[in-house]
Structure 1
């Protein structure tokens, strides 16, 4: 399982790399709303003041979690760059090791 905050952080990092890659490209794509659908479990520790944590299930893990309540959540994220009024542009090409 992966923490939801890690999933969003990794998505932000990937988008940041795509935005930087777009700077020297002639073809740009305007970045619009991003929709994620995730299978999650919830964890709440018994300590006073404890918070609920969302854990995202990795591929194939849902079947192994039959004794734990698994929920599906959908997130709609609207990306924006700090200090800019227009939507960011992205571009990118696969690295040599990606096919």
Structure 2
């Protein structure tokens, strides 16, 4: 199993790579909302006072997790480009030049 945060971190890396791939291309795509659906196990680390963790469950998890122990969640992410200071700098373009009126 991997943590949900690690899965989202890898998705961010892949989208960043796709944006860099599109630099200088005649056709680019604006990244719209990204929906991620995962089966997760929710657990608390370190007993009652520890932090809550979300673990992504693989489809073939050997049946060791019961249906009651897993939940399906959907997370919708809106990719946004940022400047050097971390401020929003417009939509994330995956490939191509921005056209007038494009959002």
Give the drift of 1:81.
1.2
How many residue pairs are counted as aligned between the two chains? Answer: 91
Scaled by the length of structure 2, what TM-score is found? 0.77
Flag the 1:46–1:77 CA change in 2: closer, same or farther, 3 A. same
Flag the 1:67–1:26 CA change in 2: closer, same or farther, 3 A. closer
Cα deviation, 1:11-55, whole Å, max 9, x if unaligned, reads 000000000001021111111100111100011134463101000
Where in structure 2 are the equivalents of 1:1-99 lying within 5 Å?
1-47=1-47, 49-61=49-61, 63-66=63-66, 69-83=69-83, 84-91=88-95
Cα RMSD, aligned residues only = 2.0
Give the drift of 1:66.
2.0
Q: In the alignment, which residue of structure 1 is the partner of 2:100?
A: none
Measure the CA separation in 2 of the matches of 1:34 and 1:62: 29
Measure the CA separation in 1 of the matches of 2:31 and 2:62: 31
Q: Is the 8 A contact 1:41 1:68 kept in 2?
A: no
Displaced runs of 4+ in structure 1, greater than 6 A? none
Scaled by the length of structure 1, what TM-score is found? 0.80
